Amino acid sequence: MSSVTSNIESVLNEERVFPPPEDFSRNAGIKSEEEYERLRAEAHDSPETFWARMAEEIHWFKKWDTVLEWNLPHAKWFVGGKTNISYNCLDRHLPTWRRNKAAIIWEGEPGEQRTLTYQQLHTEVCRFANVLKRAGIERGDRVALYLPLIPELAIAMLACARLGATHSVIFGGFSSTALIDRINDAGCKLVVTADGGWRRGSEVKLKAAVDEALKQTPTVKGCIVVRRTGARVSMQMGRDYWWHELMETVDSNCAAEELDSEHPLYILYTSGTTGKPKGILHTTAGYLLQCHLTCKWVFDLKDEDIYWCTADIGWVTGHSYVVYGPLSNGTTVLMYEGAPNYPEPDRFWQIIERHRVNIFYTAPTAIRAFIKWGEHWPLKHDLSSLRLLGTVGEPINPEAWMWYREIIGKARCPIVDTWWQTETGAIMISPVPGATPTKPGSATKPLPGIEVDVMTRSGKTVGPNEGGYLVIKRPWPSMVRTIWGDDERYRKQYWSEIEGVYFAGDGARCDKDGYFWIMGRVDDVINVSGHRLGTAEVESALVSHEAVAESAVVARPDELKGSAIVAFVTLEGTHKASDDLKEELRRHVAKEIGALARPDEIRFTDQLPKTRSGKIMRRLLREIATSGSIAGDVTTLEDFSVLEKLRTEEE
Ligand code: WTA
CA distance 87 to 641: 45
Residue extents of the structural domains in the chain: 525-649
Mean pLDDT is lowest, of 189-193, 230-234, 477-481, 618-622, for 618-622
- Model pLDDT, residue 275: 44
Does residue 506's CB lie within 6 angstroms of at least one atom of ligand 1?
yes
Cβ atoms within 10 Å of 74's Cβ, excluding its own? 14
CA distance 261 to 385: 39
* pLDDT surpassing 70 at residue 502: yes
- Distance (angstroms) between ligand 1 centre and the Cα of 272 equals 13
Length of the chain: 651
Q: Which amino acid is at 553?
A: V
- Model pLDDT, residue 523: 61
- Distance (angstroms) between ligand 1 centre and the Cα of 456 equals 20
What are the φ and ψ backbone dihedral angles of 134, each rounded to 5 degrees?
-65, -30
Q: Helix (H, G, I), strand (E, B), or coil: what is residue 460?
A: coil
* pLDDT surpassing 50 at residue 1: no
| Average model confidence (pLDDT) across the chain | 91
Confidence of residue 251 (pLDDT cuts 50, 70, 90): very high
- Residues whose CB falls within 8 Å of the CB of residue 24, separated by 6 or more in sequence, listed in order: 300, 387, 388, 414, 433, 434
- Model pLDDT, residue 561: 65
- Residues 3, 456: contact at Cβ < 8 Å? no
* pLDDT surpassing 80 at residue 101: yes
CA distance 411 to 398: 14
Cβ atoms within 10 Å of 6's Cβ, excluding its own? 24
Does residue 78's CB lie within 6 angstroms of at least one atom of ligand 1?
no
Percent of the chain at pLDDT > 90 equals: 76
* pLDDT surpassing 60 at residue 648: no
528 forms beta bridges with: 531
Distance set, CA 32 to CA 21, 125, 222, 334, 479 (Å): 11, 39, 53, 29, 28
Does residue 505's CB lie within 6 angstroms of at least one atom of ligand 1?
yes
- Residues whose CB falls within 8 Å of the CB of residue 242, separated by 6 or more in sequence, listed in order: 224, 225, 227, 235
- Distance (angstroms) between ligand 1 centre and the Cα of 118 equals 31
Topology of domain 525-649, CATH: GMP Synthetase; Chain A, domain 3 (3.30.300)
- Residues 620, 638: contact at Cβ < 8 Å? no
DSSP run (H or E) holding 452: strand 452-455
- Distance (angstroms) between ligand 1 centre and the Cα of 431 equals 15
Does residue 395's CB lie within 6 angstroms of at least one atom of ligand 1?
yes
- Distance (angstroms) between ligand 1 centre and the Cα of 251 equals 42
- Distance (angstroms) between ligand 1 centre and the Cα of 501 equals 18
- Residue to mutate (ligand 1; options 421, 470, 615; most atoms within 8 A of CB): 421
* pLDDT surpassing 90 at residue 626: no
CA distance 86 to 182: 24
Does residue 443's CB lie within 6 angstroms of at least one atom of ligand 1?
yes
Percent of the chain at pLDDT > 70 equals: 91
For the entire predicted model, the pTM comes to: 0.85
Confidence of residue 274 (pLDDT cuts 50, 70, 90): very low
H helices of 414-505, in order, are 487-495
Handedness of CA 262, 268, 269, 273 (dihedral sign): negative
What is the tens place of the pLDDT at every residue in 529-544? 545 566 877 888 899 8
- Model pLDDT, residue 536: 77
- Residue to mutate (ligand 1; options 271, 313, 315, 392; most atoms within 8 A of CB): 392
For residue 315, the ligand 1 atom closest to its alpha carbon is 20
- Residue to mutate (ligand 1; options 394, 480, 539; most atoms within 8 A of CB): 394
For residue 504, the ligand 1 atom closest to its alpha carbon is 21
Mean pLDDT is lowest, of 126-140, 214-228, 435-449, 586-600, for 586-600
Handedness of CA 159, 164, 165, 169 (dihedral sign): positive
What is the tens place of the pLDDT at every residue in 39-80? 999 999 999 999 999 999 999 999 999 999 999 999 999 999
- Residues 163, 136: contact at Cβ < 8 Å? no
**Residue-by-residue DSSP string for 140-186:** T-EEEEE--SSHHHHHHHHHHHHHTPEEEE--TTS-HHHHHHHHHHH
Confidence of residue 593 (pLDDT cuts 50, 70, 90): confident
H helices of 65-107, in order, are 85-89
Helices (runs of H) and strands (runs of E) counted in the chain: 21, 30
What is the tens place of the pLDDT at every residue in 389-403? 999 988 888 989 999
- Residues 210, 176: contact at Cβ < 8 Å? yes
